[in-house]
Amino acid sequence: MLVGWAAALNDAAAQTNSAAAAKYFSPPDESLYLRGRFVYQRNCVACHGEAGDGSGPMGLTALPRPRNFRAGIFKYRSTPSGALPTDDDLFRTVTQGIPGTAMPFFSEILTERDRRAVVQYVKTFSRKWRAPDNFAAPVTIPEPPAWFTDDAQSARRVESGGKLFAITCAGCHGANGDGKGEAAAALEDFWGRKLVPADLRRPWIHSGHEPTDIYKVLVTGLNGTPMASFADTTTEQQRWELVAYIESLRRESAEKARTGGK
């Protein structure tokens, strides 16, 4: 039990947090419900299922499996660990798809209005979207620092990034980023399915291929997976060094593919 000023401070903090979250509260827009359902039934049911539980017939053999929307847990967000995504995050996923998975892109199949409507419909599958506390402000993604595009300077940063990677990430992602670290085989997602760490040498990672996309993963984490947020355990500089290291792995692997080397 907290007493006196400590309790008062705690209440004040809780109120500030709720007030801040309430600003981003975005429950399903009922006016788009019917259109959203129509779009969902024609384009999404085959994988995500009538009830939004990810059990559509076309998704049964996909790895990763189509998202079960009923838990209200989303991987690809601009918001902090644990929070719901913004409407724009979901819109981006539906528009661009998720490269390297069965999730298609709908930029050419659906109008912008239909993509916005289906996003609102997806939000009706979980009660989490009715509670303001589950929302949060998007995190700020800074521009890459000047050294990022300077070969001479970035070589040194890649080296520091590599050292930090060996300590913090290699246990899951493997020393060379191939996704085969010691802990990898035992990892599962929230839904109890085996989940392998990303092979970071591949040209596409699910969140996108820009350095800022990789940076974003490090500050948001992927909800529902063992890939946690490193927002509190790394500095901004360390995160860019990690991104620089991952970029170097990707360049190396693209070069090998181009020259046919092993």
Q: Which residues bind ligand HEC (CB under 6 A)?
A: 43-44, 46-48, 58-59, 62, 64, 66-67, 74-76, 85, 90, 93-94, 98, 101-104, 106, 118, 122, 168-169, 171-173, 183, 187, 195, 197-198, 200, 205-207, 214, 217-218, 222, 225-227, 230, 242
Give the CB-side neighbour count of residue 49, counting CA atoms within 13 A: 15
Contact 122, 90 (CB under 8 A): yes
Distance CA 143, CA 1 (A): 44
Q: Which is nearer to ligand HEC, 11 or 182 (CB)?
A: 182
Compute the Cα dihedral for 48, 52, 54, 55 and give only its sign.
negative
Q: Which is nearer to ligand HEC, 158 or 200 (CB)?
A: 200
Distance CA 202, CA 250 (A): 6
Distance CA 117, CA 34 (A): 9
Q: Which is nearer to ligand HEC, 11 or 204 (CB)?
A: 204
Q: Report the nearest approach of ligand HEC to the CB of residue 117 (Å).
A: 10
Q: Report the nearest approach of ligand HEC to the CB of residue 134 (Å).
A: 14
Q: Report the nearest approach of ligand HEC to the CB of residue 108 (Å).
A: 12
The total number of residues written for the chain in this structure: 262
Q: Report the nearest approach of ligand HEC to the CB of residue 103 (Å).
A: 3
Q: Report the nearest approach of ligand HEC to the CB of residue 94 (Å).
A: 5
Task: Sort residue 188 into left (φ over 0), alpha (ψ -120 to 50) or beta.
Answer: beta
Q: Which is nearer to ligand HEC, 16 or 254 (CB)?
A: 254
44-51 long-range contacts, CB within 8 A, separation 24+: 44/118, 44/122, 47/102, 47/103, 51/125
Q: Which is nearer to ligand HEC, 114 or 152 (CB)?
A: 114
Mention every residue, 6+ apart, whose C-beta is less than 8 A from residue 60: none
Q: Which is nearer to ligand HEC, 21 or 230 (CB)?
A: 230
Measured between its terminal Cα atoms, the distance across the chain in Å is 62
Q: Report the nearest approach of ligand HEC to the CB of residue 238 (Å).
A: 9
Distance CA 84, CA 232 (A): 19
Q: Which is nearer to ligand HEC, 16 or 65 (CB)?
A: 65
Q: Report the nearest approach of ligand HEC to the CB of residue 203 (Å).
A: 12
